[in-house]
Amino acid sequence: MRRNNFDFLRITAALLVMYTHQFIFQGGVEPAPPLPYLSWGGIGVSMFFVISGYLVTKSWCEDPAPARYLARRFLRVWPGLAMVTLLTVFVLGPVVTRLPFETYWFTPETWSYLSALKVFTFQSTLPGVFTENPYPGVVNGSLWTIPIEVRCYLVLMLFGWAGALRFKWMALLTLLTLAFVTFYLKAPNEVSRRNWSYELGTFFTAGSVLYLWRDVWMKHAQAVVLSALALGLAAWTSGWQYVAIFLVLPVSVIAFGSASTPVIRRMGRFGDPSYGLYIFAFPIQQCVVMVTSNQVGILTTLALAVPLTFGAAYLSWHLVEKVCLGLKPRSRRAQPQATGGLVLANPAGSGA
């Protein structure tokens, strides 16, 4: 069992996403988003990408072999994704669809939903499924982040393969350049121009850079966090609120995640349900809204959906994810740690 706080943070991030989605599912509006540009769920997804950037970069640096790296990434992401996709099409869909049984199976949209297995794309609807819910027709919208995260993995591998991970300052310069493009040129304050691949990619990159500079900041973690808070406050008061969030969130998440806090560090003692929470929550929450006919409040619906989702997540971990992760290739020899890095753009919350 890992003796750090990352399991706790990933579970927290998944619950934040569930909280935001519940308001949408029940036709409401999330009250008072805590930060501009990001809902509670947006904060959770950003946390996932920061943590993923940190841990996946660690995985590459410990064994920079493309074939083994790709195998590890595949075994972390695809089995759980395949499980939720197949269950959605072959179990959930036939049970809850409003269409006749034969119509459901002979509609091309049913089979095109399996495109999610390609990981670079996804489809959010199934014929006749959840069409009468307040958030109609969307079966598992959470999967939209999976293609972005997979692209993160591939870009990281390409830069690592090219040897760019040896240059620590290049990593930092690349992060600053990407942040300039994301928060200035892409104008996230204009909703129509927001590019989530750039935004989440920037958070992933921040996590990667923090791993590659860990020998510097970990010696002075408290001072680094306080400095980030000071810079964030300065950016906030200057009108750059999203930049302020970016300056504070990645450093705070990684500093806390790397720590070993009593009780909190034991959140993973029964397994890692974080990925399962993320990929199963959406259809389970939609099911609860459908079964209750949207006649109960937000907190009551969440109280029903959260334990059901935890149950599905732990089953996914113990029956599928853990088994597949046991197949991960081992490093053939001890590899020296890299000292610099560069990355770009899940579930999604997958770890190393």
Concatenated DSSP letters for 238-256?
Answer: TT-HHHHHHHHHHHHHHHH
The residues, any chain, with a CB within 8 Å of residue 125's CB and separated by 6 or more, are: 109, 113, 137, 138, 139
The residue ranges of the chain whose pLDDT is under 50 are 334-351
Percent with pLDDT over 90 in the chain: 82
CA atoms of 183 and 189, how far apart (whole Å): 9
Give pLDDT, residue 263: 92
Give pLDDT, residue 336: 44
How many of the other CB atoms lie within 10 Å of CB of 9? 23
The residues, any chain, with a CB within 8 Å of residue 228's CB and separated by 6 or more, are: 247, 248, 251, 252
Least Cα distance to 22 among 347, 265, 298 occurs for 298
| Contact predicate 317/41, CB 8 Å | no
Give pLDDT, residue 194: 77
CA atoms of 317 and 209, how far apart (whole Å): 29
| Contact predicate 135/286, CB 8 Å | yes
Least Cα distance to 275 among 53, 7, 36 occurs for 7
Give pLDDT, residue 352: 58
How many of the other CB atoms lie within 10 Å of CB of 323? 12
CA atoms of 245 and 43, how far apart (whole Å): 10
**Dihedral-angle region of residue 236 (phi above 0 means left; psi in -120 to 50 means alpha; beta otherwise):** alpha
Give domain limits for the chain.
Answer: 6-325
Give pLDDT, residue 342: 35
| Helical residues (DSSP H) of 28-65, grouped into ranges | 40-62
Residue type at 215 in one-letter notation: D
Residue 35 DSSP SS3 = strand
- 102: enclosing H helix or E strand: helix 101-105
- Distances in Å between the Cα of 108 and the Cα atoms of 35, 112, 145 are 41, 6, 24
The residues, any chain, with a CB within 8 Å of residue 327's CB and separated by 6 or more, are: 75
Predicted TM-score (pTM) of the model is 0.92
Give pLDDT, residue 350: 42
Tokens at 42, concatenated: 């947006």
CA atoms of 154 and 152, how far apart (whole Å): 6
- Distances in Å between the Cα of 132 and the Cα atoms of 74, 97, 179, 227 are 36, 10, 41, 50
Residue type at 279 in one-letter notation: I
The residues, any chain, with a CB within 8 Å of residue 15's CB and separated by 6 or more, are: 44, 277, 306
Residue-wise pLDDT for 22-53, tens only, equals 999 999 888 777 788 889 999 999 999 999 99
